[in-house]
Amino acid sequence: MTQKLDETVLSSLPETVKAPAYRRSDLSPGILHIGVGNFHRAHQAIYLSKLFDLGEGHDWAIVGAGLKPYDKAMRERLQGQDWLTTVVELDPDGLSAQVCGAMIDFVDVDPQALIARLADPDIRIVSLTITEGGYFVDPNTGGFDVNHPEIQADLASPDAPQTVFGVLVAALLARRDKGLAPFTVMSCDNLPENGHMAKQAVAGFAKALSPEAGSWIADNVAFPNGMVDCITPATGDRERSLVQERFGLTDAAPVVCEPFRQWVLEDHFPAGRPALEKVGVEFVDDVAPYELMKLRILNGGHAAIAYPGALLGHYFVHDAMADPLIRAFLRKLEEDEILPTVPEIPGVSFQTYLTTVMERFSNPAVGDTIPRLCLDGSNRQPKFILPSIQDRLDKGLPIAGLALETALWCRYCLGQNEAGEPHVIEDNNAGLLKSWAQSVYASKTDLIEMPELFGNLAFDGNFLRAFSYAAEMISAEGVAETLKAYIDGRFQSGVASLQARAH
């Protein structure tokens, strides 16, 4: 027998499902969250629910919000269950489920309704998960893309904005005009310096509206940086069926996630904040070292297993991690070339962090996929791999393994694995990538200097020689034999000899 999830069943949940220890009627809003997707409900909402379970912070409940059609669909799904969500942690030792009640409302998906709610004094933090690509970054300058058509449309009609940043600026200026303190803007998106990126967009939009508005926001609104982490797969029929069959609940929008979550935040909240340090959030003066640790060790590790995994025919991440060659390649690459590029953080063991990362990648219950890790390589490689290469080159250190990773990415961009089975290159630059891969692996030309992909590295002889050596070995001997050569050191010796002859 199953029960439809809503407020009425909280007192009669199955024993296998943890109910909120707080009365939701005791909660009042303090945070408005824009972008109510799976990650937010598995991460920020769970931390707040844990705090509420302690009997604390009940004036910091979440009000959901959004501006996109999928936000409207999410609102409709959650409204029918009183904004409750079943969160299943995919622990390989046994699944566990809890009902999260930290969200108590969801604003109509309408810009004017959202501006009005943001102007209420009870909202002291506005948090965002609007995706890495939602910050209107100019790809050429890295600054705010004020010329984007959506931004230009909002600037032409600032009283009827359609973008998140047009709405935030309108609300902040409305609060200023009412004599209310500004809310803190807290990005929870997985991108470096997310607070700085949010400030760049909000203040950039305001400055384009008027220099005075831009200066006021830059001087008066807080944008703390944060590092977030929790693998959260998409929800589909499989996940809804799991919740229904395993835990006896009919939930229109359940969330499944790994049992690991991390949140490191800069403690800059002038309008106040919940005491999240009591439930595991780390508050620090500077989050940048933690971001770098995650970007290079975890995200770089994902890249390291993605392309050999795809080329050797693996679909699930845990299957790739069960392949002794891929697992040994990952560990050696991390220990020899990636970990040494990360500055020390007092009290943090990178070796322990790496061990945890590898355990997370190996979790079969998560069902994470190699195709997901291969997505958007032309955007991810410059964030997760190329900076480590540049750091090592600047210090005169070898880059054989990292160059091999880029050559494996290039081989993947041919569009088929080693068995000749095709795969789709999910990337905005897919055409460029395929042409590049064909020039390296098919037509045997020397066209590997690709500044569009590699920036200054495209002109670095040490990198190009290591990359070429890797590509030639992959072509001649295949992926598995090349990985073996790296693991036993023959590959590195070959690259070192090549570099020595060139110098």
Look-up of token digits 């309408």: 110
Cβ atoms of residues 298 and 334 within 8 Å: no
Scanning 43-82, the segments in alpha helix (DSSP H) are 44-53, 69-79
Give the sign of the dihedral formed by CA 452, CA 454, CA 457, CA 459: negative
Angle at 239 between CA 234 and CA 240, to 5 degrees: 120
Cα–Cα distances (Å) from 132 to 135, 137, 190, 345, 411, in that order, read 7, 10, 6, 25, 26
pLDDT tens digits in sequence order for the chain, 503 residues long: 799 999 999 999 999 999 999 999 999 999 999 999 999 999 999 999 999 999 999 999 999 999 999 999 999 999 999 999 999 999 999 999 999 999 999 999 999 999 999 999 999 999 999 988 899 998 788 899 999 999 999 999 999 999 999 999 999 999 999 999 999 999 999 888 999 999 999 999 999 999 999 999 999 999 999 999 999 988 999 999 999 999 999 999 999 999 999 999 999 999 999 999 999 999 999 999 999 999 999 999 999 999 999 999 999 999 999 999 999 999 999 999 999 999 999 999 999 999 999 999 999 999 899 999 999 999 899 989 999 999 999 999 999 999 999 999 999 999 999 999 999 999 989 999 999 999 899 875 555 567 788 888 988 999 999 999 999 999 999 999 999 999 999 999 999 999 999 88
Q: Point out which residues pair with 105 in neighbouring strands.
A: 63
Scanning 334-429, the segments in alpha helix (DSSP H) are 350-361, 370-374, 377-384, 386-394, 400-412
| Position 459, amino acid | F
Report the alpha-carbon distance of residue 172 to residue 230 in Å, rounded.
31
pLDDT at 449: 61
pLDDT at 142: 87
- Using DSSP's 3-state secondary structure scheme, residue 314 falls into coil
Structure tokens at 132: 């890495």
- 233, 243, 235, 284: which is closest to 262 by C-alpha? 284
Report the alpha-carbon distance of residue 492 to residue 482 in Å, rounded.
11
Look-up of token digits 């939602």: 134
pLDDT at 10: 97
Report the alpha-carbon distance of residue 64 to residue 167 in Å, rounded.
15
Write out the DSSP string of 118-168: HTSTT--EEEE---GGGG-B-TTTSSB-TTSHHHHHHHH-TTS--SHHHHH
- 12, 145, 24, 174: which is closest to 84 by C-alpha? 24
- 313, 321, 332: which is closest to 366 by C-alpha? 321
What's the pTM? 0.89
Report the alpha-carbon distance of residue 389 to residue 371 in Å, rounded.
24
Q: Residues near 187 by Cβ (< 8 Å), separated by ≥ 6?
A: 127, 128, 194, 195, 197, 198, 223, 225, 226
Q: Point out which residues pair with 416 in neighbouring strands.
A: 422
Report the alpha-carbon distance of residue 79 to residue 74 in Å, rounded.
8
pLDDT at 447: 56
Q: Residues near 408 by Cβ (< 8 Å), separated by ≥ 6?
A: 307, 308, 311, 470, 474, 479
Cβ atoms of residues 457 and 389 within 8 Å: yes
| Position 56, amino acid | E
Cβ atoms of residues 164 and 198 within 8 Å: no
